[in-house]
């Protein structure tokens, strides 16, 4: 997550820097540093920000389309996203079986997920 995406996420959540810092368990200075690009957004903070975005209460709930439907997945029966019926949270779950993320370490998985339509629709 780059500084622009982080700033967009905060705006979409409708939080001040201080409020978001409290939700993410980081300091106000850390949030300011992420938004200025002085520090990269750590993976665990990125993951939490996306989690907050996807679970944000909305006046008009958006219809979620599961990853296995979007991608016409042939591996769904052996994937934890399918097992836990969390196709909208596939980016959050380790061990997913996507052709592009299976067996990758978390850092590499998130690099792939950032370009996937399931996650990119959040920002």
Inside any domain, residue 62: no
Question: Is 45:24 a contact under the CB 8 Å cutoff?
Answer: yes
Predicted local distance difference test score (pLDDT) of residue 21? 96
Please indicate, yes or no, whether residues 71 and 97 belong to a single structural domain of this protein.
yes
Q: Which residue has the tokens 């996420």?
A: 9
Residues near 35 by beta carbon (within 8 Å), at least 6 away in sequence: 3, 6, 7, 10, 17
**Domain containing residue 50: CATH number:** 1.10.260.40
Give the count of domains, the chain.
2
Please indicate, yes or no, whether residues 42 and 75 belong to a single structural domain of this protein.
no
Predicted local distance difference test score (pLDDT) of residue 109? 82
Please indicate, yes or no, whether residues 36 and 79 belong to a single structural domain of this protein.
no
Inside any domain, residue 96: yes
Phi-psi region at 103: left, alpha or beta (left = phi > 0; alpha = psi -120 to 50) = left
CA distance 17 to 23: 10
Range of 82's domain? 67-120
Alpha-carbon distances of 122 from 21, 98, 117, rounded to whole Å: 19, 19, 9
pLDDT digits (tens, 9 = 90+) for 31-59: 999 999 999 999 999 999 999 998 887 66
Please indicate, yes or no, whether residues 73 and 108 belong to a single structural domain of this protein.
yes
The reported pTM is 0.80
Inside any domain, residue 59: no
């Amino acid at each position: 997550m780059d500084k622009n995406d982080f700033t967009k996420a905060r705006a979409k959540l409708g939080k001040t820097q201080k409020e978001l810092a409290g939700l993410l368990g980081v300091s106000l200075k850390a949030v300011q540093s992420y938004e200025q690009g002085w520090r990269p957004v750590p993976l665990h903070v990125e993951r939490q920000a996306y989690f907050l975005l996807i679970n944000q209460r909305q006046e008009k709930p958006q219809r979620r389309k599961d990853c296995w439907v979007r991608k016409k997945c042939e591996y769904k029966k052996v994937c934890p996203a399918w097992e836990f019926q969390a196709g909208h949270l596939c980016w959050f779950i380790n061990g997913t079986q996507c052709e592009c993320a299976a067996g990758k370490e978390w850092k590499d998985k998130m690099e792939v997920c950032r370009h996937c339509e399931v996650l990119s629709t959040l920002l």
